[in-house]
Amino acid sequence: MSTVERTVCDPNCHANPKCGLSATVENGRIVEIGPADYPIEGFENRICLLGRARLEQQYHPGRLTKPLKRVGTRGRGEWEEISWAEAARLFVEAQKRIAAEYGERAISFQQISGAYGLLTRNSPVRYASLTGATVIRSSGIDFGVAKGLEAMFGIPASTYFSPGGHSHDDAINSELTIIWGGNPAVTKRVDQTALRRARKAGTTLICIDPVRSETAKMSDEWISLRPGSDGALAWSLVHQLLSTDRFDNDFVSTHTNLPFLVDAESATLLRKEGEPAVWCAASDRVVPLSAAVEPALRVDHSEAGRRVISVFSEIERLAAEFPTDTAEQLTGVPADIIESLATRYIDADPAAIRIGYGVDRWYNADLNARAIAMLACLGGYIGLPGGGVSLEGGNQSLPIKSTHFAMPGRRRPELLSMMEADSAVIDGAPYPVKMTCISLGNPFNQVKPNRNKVLAEHVAALEFICVIDQFMTDTAKWADLVLPACSIFEKDDVVVDRFIQLQQRIVEPVGEAKSDFQIFRLLADEYGVGEHFSEPQDVYLDEMLNDDSPPLAEVNMERLRREKVVFPWPTNEPYVGFRDRVFPTPSGRIEFFTEHLREHGAELPYFREPIEASPQHPLFEHFPLVLLSSHSRHRIHSTFANLEMTKRSEPEPVVRISLADARARNVRDGEIVEVINNRGRVVIRCAIDETIREGCVLIREGHWIDDFIEGDAYGLTHDHHSPTTENYAHYDVLVELRRIVQTDTYA
Ligand code: SF4
């Protein structure tokens, strides 16, 4: 007997909405997966090859079917199958022992980005809240641009700027779209069709990227720049606009803090009568903002030995340090291209900027993102259909009450960023963390940088590691306890983005796998707080969905069980962030000058050289190549990397290098080489690839460690991070590539 069931695919692929899947089930087994229907038009045939690969993943021989207890030395892969009761006892025994010695918060829970169901993500947080533990919040990777945009626009970084961005289908309203440091042709698997449609309809696409990526190939123009120099290019474009007075004076005067005055000596914003001070051109004096008849933009005024300048004038002064010839030297982008880009951007009606994670994985990612976003503000493009600056696309938030479930009775777990948590584990500060429970991810693969240090210091310092996963990943291998998790087809949950979709259990779990909700309910019982996990799942889901206001007023589990997918909005118009031009910043305006970042020397989006990947760095002499590690179309980070489908398309990791760099090293296409730096070494096949800029090499991220011939690419990265980004700098890395003829190492 065969039935067709609807559920939803929800990995970290940034699809919005996540793709509904239609699964044919015969005799309790899924036999086919295809795209599902949506209640409104425009989402037909929405599925990518990874959605279809869910079938192979579901019945993969590597699926974990029983809880596993480590019996040998950590990392050696010696396991004993145990019962769930024994697993829960081991977990809670370790938790209570460690809590007794170091305090309850010495146990951390981290959910990475492998799934987005409300119950799946929030169950570990609820358990952590109930037991006084620590939760590691969103941070560590792909967070730098979001932090920069948070500083400027006030949208919390944890939303990845989604409420401030524009949905992908808004591309059709742009005359010009700049895709800056991203490769949506590969990474926005199903949403990139909106860009293609827009281009057909006349939108000009310009791709800025060191690599001639798939997106560069589908664009009208590709601008190649030196990796990490994005901020210098943005500042030069700003200079082009300001020095020729081509900017939206009304917009910047009304909606940004460019007219605000700064005390030049202390670099603090000036206040008058409790308000930001501005220079009123009508009365020729400093006045409180609300009293300004005609706030001036260009102000540089000295009185009684005190110099005050406007934020605008300071920006103008800084931008003047980036004339096109200087910018050409810094970025490698020819001066005439910079001039032409500035003209085309400001003349477009309107222009959009879509920033990708290529801008992100740098020490100064936030500063560079802010420099880029200045352009959209100077153009007056914020809040206009077809304009704006976006990171993940854009989406209006629904008032989901996940914290009601995650933090019952308002008990809040301790929250640490990934960096703080790493320091808590390795250095015991701000407090010791001695046990961790990892779900929905594989952080010991590529998320945590400097893998050799992770294994030598981080893993070694943890007294107990539990990993919840469907597979024995590179992270699970280092655990003391591994708990088998359900697939998307084996659990009930709700996935919320542009739609609200039911993820439903359509087949029985393989072996004894459990959903994350079931696992934490079991642990809660064992710990003695089971009464807080005792309601049926739908009760908790209803609690999260329950809101009397539209668009949620008529959404509940009963309806979702019936309809499977709900479109809660009155219209399916493209989403445009800041249509109302309300900015949740301290000043209520877009902040070019961000006062609270002054302590980090980041009150303005200064351009700074990459922390490592720069010719000015001492390591450059030994390791002159920048290591890029962008996404593969066959994986989402390390998810799906173990499937035959992936291995057929990408049988092994390769390092890609330009012909000129290969020749300079006497390396041939297909040869086995080593990529090294002062932290690590990987032995890998080399591919000569003319899409790679000279001075760079590229190893696509997400390969599992065993796929490398020797070593791994993740041991080459470092763990430096800026205090303003909460982001590791995975691309800000220097390496050398060479034939395998030497064995010396660099200290
Ligand atoms: S992995 Fe593919 S099918 Fe699944 S949600 Fe993302 S784009 Fe859709």
User: Is the same domain home to 242 and 344?
Assistant: yes
Q: Using alpha carbons, list the distances in angstroms from residue 31 to 43, 47, 120, 556.
A: 23, 17, 25, 30
* Region at 390 (left for phi over 0; alpha for psi -120 to 50; beta for the rest): beta
The string of DSSP letters for 152-199 reads HH---GGGTTGGGSB-GGGGGG-SEEEEES--HHHHSTTTTHHHHHHH
Note whether 322 and 429 are same-domain residues.
no
Three-state SS for 72?
coil
Cα-flanking dihedrals φ and ψ of residue 62, to 5°?
A: -85, 0
Q: What is the pLDDT of residues 673-700, one digit of tens each?
A: 999 999 999 999 999 999 999 999 999 9
Over the stretch 247-278, which tens digit does the pLDDT of each residue have?
999 999 999 999 999 999 999 999 999 999 99
Residues 90 and 188 in one domain: no
347 CA → ligand 1 middle, Å: 36
The pLDDT tens digits for 86-104 are 999 999 999 999 999 999 9
* Confidence bin at 1 (pLDDT 50/70/90): confident
- Residue 694: CATH number of its domain: 2.40.40.20
610/617 Cα distance (integer angstroms): 9
632 alpha carbon – ligand 1 mean position (Å): 14
- Residue 304 confidence (pLDDT): 81
At which residue do the structure tokens 């998320």 appear?
447
Task: Report pLDDT for 215.
Answer: 97
15 C-alpha to ligand 1 centroid (Å): 6
> Given a cut of 80, is residue 443 above it in pLDDT?
yes
* pTM recorded for the entire structure: 0.96
Tokens of 467: 């990993």
Whether pLDDT at 213 is above 90: yes
Q: Is the pLDDT of residue 393 over 50?
A: yes
Pull the structure tokens for residue 141. Answer: 């990777």
Name the residue of 47, 489, 635 to mutate for ligand 1: max ligand atoms within 8 A of Cβ.
47
Pocket (CB within 6 angstroms of ligand 1):
9, 11, 13, 15, 18-19, 47-48, 50-51, 189-190
Q: Which atom of ligand 1 is nearest to the CA of 21?
A: 3
Quick one: how far is CA 497 from the chain centroid?
A: 16
The reported pLDDT for the residue numbered 409 is: 82
Alpha carbon dihedral 437, 438, 440, 444, in 10-degree steps, equals -170
pLDDT value of position 741: 67
Examine the domain organization and report whether 254 and 337 are in the same domain: yes
Pocket probe for ligand 1: among 9, 45, 565, the residue whose CB has the most ligand atoms within 8 Å is 9
**Do residue 457 and residue 523 come from a single domain?**
yes
| Stretch 174-200: mean pLDDT | 95
Q: Ligand 1 centroid to 128 CA: how many Å? A: 30
Mean pLDDT of the 130-138 span: 96
Tokens of 207: 């791709």
Secondary structure (3-state) at 440:
coil
Contact of 390 with 165, CB cutoff 8 Å: yes
8 is a domain residue: no
CATH of the domain at 483: 3.40.50.740
Alpha carbons 475 and 459: distance in angstroms, whole number: 10
Please determine, for residue 745, whether its predicted confidence score (pLDDT) is greater than 60.
no
Nearest alpha-carbon partner for 60 in 30, 83, 104: 30
124 with 229, same domain: the answer is no
Q: Is the pLDDT of residue 616 over 50?
A: yes
Same domain for 640 and 693?
yes
Q: How many CB atoms lie within 10 A of CB 671?
A: 15
State the residue for tokens 């051109």.
Answer: 281
Does residue 443 lie in a domain region?
yes
Look at the chain and report how many structural domains it folds into: 3
| Residue 48 in domain | no
Q: pLDDT tens across 629-669, in order?
A: 999 999 999 999 999 999 999 999 999 999 999 999 999 99
Q: What is the pLDDT of residues 326-354, one digit of tens each?
A: 999 999 999 999 999 999 999 999 999 99
Which domain covers residue 319, as residue numbers? 168-395+584-600
CA distance 746 to 126: 47
For residues 653 and 727, membership in a common domain is answered with yes
Q: Is the same domain home to 225 and 287?
A: yes
Q: Quick check: is 257 in a domain?
A: yes
Counting from 1 in the atom list of ligand 1, the atom nearest the Cα of 14 is 6
Mean pLDDT of the residues in the chain? 96
- 129 alpha carbon to ligand 1 midpoint, in Å? 32
pLDDT of residue 509: 98
Closest residue by CA, ligand 1 atom 8: 19
Rounded distance between C-alpha atoms, residue 30 and residue 24, angstroms: 6
315 and 390 housed in the same domain: yes
- Condensed to tens digits (0 to 9), the pLDDT of residues 509-550 reads 999 999 999 999 999 999 999 999 999 999 999 999 999 988
Nearest CA to ligand 1 atom 3: 51
* Tens-digit pLDDT profile for residues 358-385: 999 999 999 999 999 999 999 999 999 9
Angle at 501 between CA 497 and CA 503, to 5 degrees: 120
Strands 435-439 vs 414-416: parallel, antiparallel or unpaired? unpaired
Residue at 166: amino acid letter: H
Alpha carbon dihedral 47, 48, 50, 56, in 10-degree steps, equals 60
Mark out the alpha helices in 298-381 (DSSP H runs).
311-319, 324-331, 335-347, 365-378
Helix (H), strand (E), coil (C) string for 24-47: EEECCEEEEEEECCCCCCCCCCCC
Distance, CA of 658 to CA of 694 (rounded, Å): 6
Kindly report the number of other CB atoms within 10 A of residue 27's CB atom: 7
The alpha carbon of residue 130 and the mean position of all alpha carbons in its chain are separated, in whole angstroms, by 28
User: Using DSSP, how many helices (H) and how many strands (E) does the chain show?
Assistant: 23, 33
